[in-house]
Amino acid sequence: MTAGDRPVAVIVGPPGSGKTVTGRALADLLGVPFHDTDEAIVRSVGRSIADLFVEDGEAAFRELERVEVTRALAEERGVVALGGGAPVQPGAAELLQGHTVVFLDVGIADASRRIGFDQSRPLLAINPRASWVAMMNVRRATYEAVATLRADTAGRTPEDVAAEVAGTLAVSGTGPGAAP
């Protein structure tokens, strides 16, 4: 796999870290397309992720997610944002090997302000703050293990975070136009 046949960057992180909005801003800065795997799943099935969880169950959603993440990592060439749970699913770490993976790290205060812990996030529906903290305690090690870059989003705008990541990609030679 060379730099030209994989995404420029893969964005991972928990709910509320800003994966979609920061990913879009990063793609704009780099002049590449943006792809969100959760948005792709919603478009393909015509239902929200919350509806998928309620009507079909988490296992059915995770299978759709596995297929979409596998496809996106093989076919998309811009910035790809993965759903918060995607990196912790079986086989995901192997799929992410060789990719530039950006972990958007966020604390509970910023996450709660950004997403409000509403009913659209099925894994956070009951006691959202405690659920988010427990989720992050489980997922943090995986996010850190798959990441090649970490960006702290605390108190920062998505544009600031995207600019930092773009600068790091340019310095490391992994951004658009990098040699294979």
Q: What is the pTM of this model?
A: 0.85
pLDDT attached to residue 15: 81
Mean pLDDT of 130-152: 87
Closest among 32, 18, 36, 16 to 158, alpha carbons compared: 18
C-alpha dist (Å) from residue 143 to 77, 84, 90, 149, 156: 22, 9, 14, 10, 20
Return the percentage of the chain with pLDDT > 90, whole number: 62
Residue 115 has pLDDT above 60, yes or no: no
Residues 6+ apart with CB under 8 A from 55: 47
pLDDT per residue over 78-103, tens digit each? 999 999 999 999 999 999 999 999 99
Cβ contact 33:72 at 8 Å: no
Query: Domains in the chain and their CATH numbers?
Result: 3-168 (3.40.50.300)
